[in-house]
Amino acid sequence: MNEAPPSRRAGVRARRPHDSRQDAGATKALLIGVFTMPMVQITMLAGRTADQKRKIAKRITDTLVEEAGARREAIVVAFHEVSKESYASGGELMVDKPPK
């Protein structure tokens, strides 16, 4: 009995020859899109209000637009808040430091 070629069997797709140049181009385009935007990451102790973070993000964005010529819509500001139990300065956890 003659069996159908793999590309014609139910549930089997024909595979196209692999072109690494095409993959490299797609990867380059993806990397350019990801890494050309300014991304600012701020790590700080938890406790700031949304209004405070809004003002910080606006001032950082304004500065990058004015001083670096960045496009406003491409700028990302990410806030990473950490607890006093997860943040150390000078080898000492913030939770262990006396209040100033």
pLDDT in tens, 55-75: 999 999 999 999 999 999 999
For residue 27, the model assigns a pLDDT of: 55
Domain range holding 80?
39-91
Residue 8 lies in a domain: no
Q: Is the pLDDT of residue 15 over 80?
A: no
Q: Which of 77, 48, 78, 49 is nearest to 61 (CA)?
A: 77
Q: Which residues are catalytic?
A: 38
Residue 13 lies in a domain: no
User: Looking at the predicted structure, is the pLDDT value of residue 89 above 80?
Assistant: yes
**Residue 67, pLDDT score:** 96
Give a yes or no: residue 63 inside a domain: yes
Query: How many domains does one find in the chain?
Result: 1
Would 55 be classed as within a structural domain? yes
- pLDDT average, residue stretch 14-31: 55
CATH of the domain at 58: 3.30.429.10
Q: In angstroms, rounded to a whole number, what is the distance separating the alpha carbons of residues 92 and 78?
A: 25
Report whether pLDDT(86) > 90: yes
Question: Percentage of residues in the chain with pLDDT exceeding 90?
Answer: 61
Residue 37, pLDDT score: 79
Q: Of 45, 50, 34, which is closest to residue 86 (Cα–Cα)?
A: 45
Evaluate if residue 99 carries a pLDDT over 70: yes
